[in-house]
Amino acid sequence: MTVRRANAFDLHVPAPRARPGDKPDFSDWSFPEPGDTPRPEVDAPAAELRDFAYGLIRVLDLGGSAQGPWAPRLGADALRRAMKSMLLTRAFDERMHRAQRQGKTSFYMQCQGEEAISIAQATALAPDDMCFPSYRQQGILIARGYPLVDMMHQIYSNRLDPMKGRQLPVMYSSKKYGFFTISGNLATQVPQAVGWAMASAYSGDGRIAAAWLGEGSTAEGDFHAAMTFAGVYRAPVIVNVVNNQWAISSFQGIAGGENTTFAARGVGYGVPALRVDGNDFLAVYAVTQWAAERARSNLGPTLIEHFTYRAGPHSTSDDPARYRPADEARAWPLGDPIERLKAHLVGLGEWSEEQHRIAQEEAIEIVRAAGRDAEKVGVLGVEGAHEIGSMFEDVYKDMPWHLKRQREEAGA
């Protein structure tokens, strides 16, 4: 029998590398070199793919050249389009963050530093593949050409808000653009995506589903449900874990990141899992394409961990300087996704500093114009933007007696 050692115990509570006042230092981190990771066949058995969960697929080196077998064949036009979407996303975030600060709405969430993920993935997926995003994938809507002004109407909860002012800002929904209605409850969308993919497989229509959640949200039981069902029924779905190192004030160690990678979760279910540099547009594009091809070939789900950094605050409700060094984002060893794609395009001779500056200004101008239009319609809090009666609609397809009565009571 094992020997009892009283008081040998200690409750381990993970702590991040640096807190406000500390100097962020990633110098002891090391990553596989760009180009070093092999690209397996999409029909490789999951058991042979386990190592990918512990590596990091990289294509762009920090100088901007594309390396190795994962380098995708993407034309310069497509890359420039993607660049413009990334710039638009960043400009949009900046303006809407400011709009909230100016009291024009109640809440906003940026995706600063994570733009490559949604935009590369939207580029790799078919336009009618179905997306089940979290609140930080506005890039998908932007890349798919959803009108910015409609996003703003939603954020302002104004008269033209497609969600009729019912949802918190950024909780978009668009069936037409293959974008599922965002939930405030973390991770619930992931098993829903699996169900959608099962339905697609059942119906044989060839569309696949993709879901996104933060590394913090992988702790939720819904993620486990999603992985279990996806594995069991081999659903054509891509589950994307965006590991941006933070979940509000909690570093990724609180979600289990001290013990293994988040991609390793996939290994646990026998689901192929790839870990990718999320700030590397080309790598994200390439792994998504690989996973999509797997799904479309009836080979089932893939988990992708996007290794990135949340450069902005969690939302307009928090100040990250209270829980992490203010300059940690700048110290991030894998750079900024826009700068890295820019270096690549410039290196290819397909882009220039000047073109970049103009594109940035254009993005700002497009956002400004959309902002003007949206604000003309109204910002949050304009009386009468929605008639009271609309509050009682869409609870059910047909309004039952008790809601009719309550509508009357409300004077509508």
Partner 1 sequence: MTSMTMIQALNSALDVMMSRDSKVLTFGEDVGYFGGVFRVTEHLQQKYGAKRCFDAPINECGIAATAIGMAAYGLRPVIEIQFADYMYPAYDQIVSEAARIRYRSAGDYTVPMTVRMPYGGGIFGGQTHSQSPEALFTHVAGLKTVIPATPYDAKGLLISAIEDDDPVIFLEPKRVYNGPFDGRRDKPVQPWSKHPASEVPEGYYAIPLGKAQTVREGGDLTVLAYGTMVHVALAAAEDSGIDAEVIDLRTLVPVDVEAIVKSVTKTGRCVIVHEATRTSGYGAELTALVQEHCFYQLEAPIERVTGYDTPYPHALEWEYFPTPPRIIKAMRRVMES
Ligand X SMILES: Cc1ncc(C[n+]2csc(CCOP(=O)(O)OP(=O)(O)O)c2C)c(N)n1
- Please give the residues from 14 up to 53 whose contact with its own copies meets the rule CB under 8 A: 14, 46-47, 50
Q: How far is CA 261 from CA 15, 56, 78, 256, 324, in A?
A: 17, 10, 31, 8, 21
User: What CA–CA distance (Å, rounded) separates 212 from 103?
Assistant: 29
Is residue 238 close enough to count as binding Mg ion by CB under 5 A?
A: no
Q: Which two tokens stand for residue 202?
A: 């059942």
Per CB under 8 A, which region of 53-61, 74-82, 244-252, 356-364 contacts partner 1?
A: 244-252
Quote the least distance from Cβ 206 to its own copies, whole Å: 4
Cβ atoms 287, 258 nearer than 8 A: no
Shortest gap between Cβ of 187 and ligand X (angstroms)?
A: 7
Residue 247 lies near Mg ion (rule: CB under 5 A): yes
CB atoms inside a 10 Å sphere around CB 129: 22
Residue with tokens 């959803």: 146
Q: Are 44 and 52 in contact (CB under 8 A)?
A: no
User: Of 213 and 343, which has the nearer Cβ to its own copies?
Assistant: 213
Q: Tell which residue, 167, 294, 300, 296, has the closest CA to residue 233.
A: 300
Annotate each residue in 117-146 with x if it binds partner 1 (CB under 8 A) or - if it does not, as one string: -------------x-x--------------
Structure tokens at 216: 């913090």
Q: Pick between residue 29 and residue 401 the one whose CB is nearest to partner 1.
A: 401
Residue for token digits 């190192």? 245
What does 2 interact with, of its own copies, ligand X, partner 1, none (CB < 5 to 8 A by kind)?
Answer: its own copies
Q: What is the DSSP string of 45-83?
A: -GGGGGGGGTS-B--B-TTS-B-STT-----HHHHHHHH
Give the DSSP H/E element, type plus range, for residue 88: helix 76-101
- The two tokens of residue 206 are 């060839």
Stretch that binds Mg ion, among 4-12, 194-202, 238-246, 371-379 (CB under 5 A): 238-246
Window 180-219: contact mask with partner 1 (x via CB under 8 A): xx-xxxxxx-xxxxxxxxxxx-xx-----x------xx-x
The distance of closest approach from Cβ of residue 208 to its own copies in the complex, given in angstroms and rounded to an integer, is: 9
Does the protein bind ligand X through residue 221 (CB under 6 A)? no
CA distance 294 to 88: 31
Of residues 97, 275, 310, 340, which one binds ligand X by CB under 6 A?
310
- Which residue of this chain has its Cβ atom nearest to ligand X in the complex? 214
Nearer to its own copies, 146 or 223 (CB): 223
Helix 281-296 to helix 337-347 angle (10° resolution) is 90
What residues between 42 and 101 interact with its own copies by CB under 8 A? 46-47, 50, 54
Q: State the binding partner of 9 from Mg ion, its own copies, partner 1, none, CB within 5 to 8 A by kind.
A: its own copies
Which residues contact ligand X by CB under 6 A? 136, 184-186, 213-217, 242, 244, 246-248, 310, 314
